[in-house]
Amino acid sequence: MVLPQRPEGRRLHPVTPWRRAWAPMAALFAFAVQDPERARQGAEHLTPGRLVAGLAVLLPLIAAYGFLSWWMTSYLVTETELRIRTGLLFRRVAHIRLDRVQAIDVGRPLLARLIGVAKLRLDVVGTGKKDELAFLSEREAVALRAELLARAAGMAPESASEVGEAPSRELVRVEPWTLVVSLLLLGTSWGTLAAVLVVPPLVGWASGSLWAALVVTVPLLGGVWRGGLGRFLTEFDWSVAESPDGVRVDHGLLDRAHATVPPGRVQAVRIVEPWLWRRRGWVRVELDVAGGGGEGSDVLLPVAPREVARAVLERILPGMDPWEAEAVLRPSPRRARRVVPLWWRGYGHGVTATVFASRRGLVCRKLSLVPHAKVQSVRVTQGPWERVFGLADVHVDHGANGTVTARLRTVEEARAVAAAQAERSRTGRRTARPERWLT
């Protein structure tokens, strides 16, 4: 057998073919699920002799596919980009500009940790999907991340490959007990659990069908998992550290994740404050990073006291104080109650010297902050019902394809806010730090 010419660049870890060999098995499983009747008929005609013969043919083919797929995959770091070549039948070459890299994650799933390998995922401006190198040895993944971050910072190529991982200083670590209590105090988890106990029996009793009850139960159990045990496993042993190459976030019990967000790439911050957390003074901090996939895609702190959150944010976005922004919030005018009864009290808007701030929510408050230098555009919109009462919304778009909205302002105020915000954004960009922070 003559192997095809493998592309230039470095290879992935030799364990990768075994991972890729699962793709044909997954395709067979998907076929069986899509057409269970034909799969059942095929299984009825399957004798032990045919099974052995089938495995004798199938397993070498799967192994050959995994090996050839690995053989045709490589990556190469040039002076300006990371080049990833993949594909056995359909070739794909990803050209990732290093100055467009927004964040780099090192993922270590449980089995990968046992073998000593890791995968590297990159957030890049303008792409909704993360590019991935799976798998590399743990040492190679860490070294490659350090090299890419050094190149993204503007370091010379000959120096970047030798710089190694920058030292870090831990800022905060979330204790497991604090995480457990915070999850127990979330009303969504208890609400979903109550729905699991009530809704399926009612559906089963009304329809007289066990299958109908199961169909309702499965998605509800998924909600309980995501809001309870699944979230605990994901956010276990959460730590945030600062280093010259950015903010480092480590977390996870089974799947250990290590993310690095370079300086200056945070586009917006969101402070989430559930009702039952307020007496304890706890908040959740989320980030919008360009290329990170939109709202809620990046968590900085799953739970932390307000002062701790402020200290961490001060290290990431110097000069920004979320509680100063909260203090200058002004509620919507009283006439807004005719547009959104009761919930209009949850809306607020304010501006400080550094950020555009907007709050929404009564039971679960969400305070969104956009640094003036990160604002891409400003819009004023008015629905027909808002026009009747002389109200309007101000939308601020930032670089992570997200929008922060100051809802239900008077028309005069909305126009003044939009004009002033456009000027603040223009002058704010003059003092912003460069994208390549070592240049």
Beta bridge partners of 359: 348, 367
pLDDT surpassing 70 at residue 438: no
Confidence (pLDDT) at 296: 42
pLDDT surpassing 70 at residue 33: no
Lowest mean pLDDT segment, chosen from 96-100, 148-152, 209-213: 209-213
Instruction: Identify the CA nearest to 242 among candidates 169, 150, 308.
Output: 169
CATH number of 10-162: 2.30.29
* Residues in Cβ contact with 16 at an 8 Å cutoff, skipping those fewer than 6 apart: 66, 70, 73, 134, 135
Which of residues 381 and 125 earns the better pLDDT score?
A: 381
SS3 state of residue 413? helix
Beta bridge partners of 404: 396
pLDDT surpassing 90 at residue 68: no
Does the N-terminal peptide bond of residue 356 adopt cis geometry, omega within 30 degrees of 0? no
Question: Across all residues in the chain, what is the average pLDDT?
Answer: 84
Section 283-309 average pLDDT: 81
Question: How many Cβ atoms sit within 10 Å of the Cβ of residue 81?
Answer: 17
Residue 370 carries which side chain, given as an amino acid letter? V
**Do 256 and 250 meet the contact criterion of CB atoms below 8 Å apart?**
yes
pLDDT, tens only, 249-289: 999 998 888 888 877 788 899 999 999 999 999 999 999 88
C-alpha torsion 261→8→119→438, nearest 10: -20
Give span(s): CATH 2.30.29, the chain: 10-162
pLDDT surpassing 90 at residue 333: yes
Which of residues 26 and 82 earns the better pLDDT score?
A: 82
Instruction: Identify the CA nearest to 392 among candidates 377, 378, 413.
Output: 413
* Confidence band for 436, pLDDT divided at 50, 70 and 90: low
Range with the largest mean pLDDT of 58-67, 85-94, 106-115, 178-187? 178-187
Q: Where are the beta strands (DSSP E) in 25-159?
A: 74-77, 81-86, 92-97, 101-108, 117-124, 131-137
Confidence (pLDDT) at 406: 95
Distance CA 386, CA 405 (A): 15
Can you give the three-state secondary structure of 206-254, one letter per residue? HHCCHHHHHHHHHHHHHHHHHHCHHHHHHHCCCEEEEECCEEEEEECCC
Distance CA 286, CA 296 (A): 6
Which of residues 142 and 31 earns the better pLDDT score?
A: 142
Distance CA 297, CA 125 (A): 14
Query: Is the backbone of residue 272 left (phi > 0), alpha (psi -120 to 50) or beta?
Result: beta
pLDDT, tens only, 151-176: 877 777 777 667 677 788 899 999 99
Which of residues 22 and 120 earns the better pLDDT score?
A: 120
* Confidence band for 294, pLDDT divided at 50, 70 and 90: very low
Confidence (pLDDT) at 1: 62
Matching residue, tokens 């995922």: 121
Q: Which two tokens stand for residue 96?
A: 């990732």
Which of residues 160 and 332 earns the better pLDDT score?
A: 332
Distance CA 158, CA 360 (A): 49
Exposure class string for 411-421: b at 16+ Cβ within 10 A, else e: eebbeebbeeb
**Do 297 and 121 meet the contact criterion of CB atoms below 8 Å apart?**
no
Distance CA 345, CA 358 (A): 13
pLDDT surpassing 50 at residue 213: yes
Confidence (pLDDT) at 226: 81
Range with the largest mean pLDDT of 18-32, 200-214, 275-289? 275-289
Section 325-338 average pLDDT: 92
User: Treating both helix axes as pointing N-terminal to C-terminal, what angle do 187-207 and 210-227 enclose, rounded to 10 degrees?
Assistant: 180
